[in-house]
Copies of this chain bind each other. A is one copy, B any other.
Amino acid sequence: MDLRGQVEEANTLTVERMMQADPLWVDMGLASEKLKGMKGRTLLHAGPPIAWERMSGPLRGAVMGACIYEGWASTPEEAERLAASGDVTFEPCHHHGCVGPMAGVVSPRMPVYEVFDEKSGARAFSNLNEGLGKVLRYGAYGDDVQKRLRWLGTTFYEAMKAALRELRKERPGLSFKAIISQALTMGDDCHNRYVAATSLFIREMVPYMFAAGAGGKDVSEVYSFMNGNNFTTLNLGMATAKAMALAGHGVKHSTIVTTMARNGTETGIRVSGLGDRWFTAPAPTVKGMWFPGFSEKDANPDIGDSAITETAGFGGFAMAAAPAIISWVGGSASVAMEITRKMYEITYARHRFFTIPALDFQGTPTGVDIRKVVKTGVTPHINTGVAHRQAGIGQIGAGLVVFPMEMFKLALKGYAEAYGL
């Protein structure tokens, strides 16, 4: 077979594995227990590798907050000194099969969701969602942030873990893929809109939550938090997407992207047929809708592992399924439709299980092909939240972002080198 044939075969295998994966939510645990290789004073972060010196404000803020949460520092100043001292190891979430939205900072004592795809053996993790506004993942670290993190790490974590234990008395785990699939027919893109997914998740979990908690005060508190936060399931959606991407990773000759992630300074991709090598470019700015009192000049460049949703064939790529998202990220319904249409030009497949009712249940654009990106000049379109560029402030808006071409060209060059073309 010629190389072209080998690439087509490899890409087909990659996207089939990604689409056929059905990761089940099977467990929760502390990051230090669950993420192998996360030792001592290690903090994980979103995007490609980065040192403290080059970190943007919100990532620094989240790092400082995590140092305080772990008890490694007791003030922001102490935390900042510690982080800059070299005594904290920083590693990408992606190096541990993990993903975190926005800053994506995961510290040893933070609980993580674990999902597992039996077919491929892919296992992935994500942290818990704190809700919107002044939260760690947007770079805030104050007392209210700490208080919420502690509550998430105890009350919420224990209630959800107990509920999952009840669920697993009846079945091996919860298929969040099934929820994504349904939510895409209910106006969610499952990146920045999780209203339906969270509703469906609640419907599934309520009996187990109440069975586990027997209607006690904690369960009511946890229910009320979940019900008040439509992003409750973002992290489970991301872990599910990460497991799908992992299922498709490592196929020789494949030109399909299996990681797209941003650390607030750089955006990076990895490619199925090119191992764990990152190809990076400066993180772009977001065309956003701003919360009152903020503007573009306050915005940090693009940040977060949440582009794993687009990597797996939903999120921004499925915007045509979620016209209501324009009220959150700006634009018009026709823009949402146009973005999905464009993404078909740079992807390898139409998803078998994720469909868009408004396009007569056509599958979502799935599997970014670096060849097609470079050939068409079209890069992935993502929708995302936006953090203030300074540490300690939090979310200031949401919007649309277009990935830089540079890293796709680098990846194609890397591919040519790796395969001796």
Residues of A whose CB lies within 8 Å of any CB of B are 182, 185-188, 195-196, 199-200, 202-203, 206-207, 210-211, 214-215, 220, 223-224, 227, 323-324, 326-327, 332-334, 357-361
B residues within 8 A CB of A358? 323, 333, 358
Neighbour of A186 across the interface among B186, B206, B210, CB < 8 A: B186
Distance, CA A361 to CA B333, complexed state (A): 9
Determine the residue in chain B with the shortest Cβ distance to A327.
Answer: B361
Distance, CA A227 to CA B360, complexed state (A): 27
Determine the residue in chain B with the shortest Cβ distance to A188.
Answer: B186
B residues within 8 A CB of A326? 357, 360
Q: This chain: how many copies in the complex?
A: 2
Interface pairs A-B: 9 shortest CB-CB: A215-B215, A199-B199, A323-B357, A324-B357, A185-B324, A323-B358, A186-B187, A186-B186, A333-B360
Are A223 and B196 closer than 8 Å at their CB atoms?
Answer: no
- Indicate the member of A202, A323, A326 with the most B CB atoms within 10 Å: A323
Neighbour of A187 across the interface among B202, B327, B357, CB < 8 A: B357
- Could you write out 12 A-B pairs with CB less than 8 Å apart? A182-B195, A185-B187, A186-B186, A187-B196, A199-B199, A202-B206, A207-B227, A210-B210, A211-B220, A215-B215, A324-B357, A333-B360
Are B187 and A206 closer than 8 Å at their CB atoms?
Answer: no
Distance, CA A360 to CA B186, complexed state (A): 16
Decide: A207 near B185, CB < 8 A? Known: A332-B360, A333-B358: no
Distance to closest chain B CB from A216 (angstroms): 9
Distance, CA A151 to CA B182, complexed state (A): 30
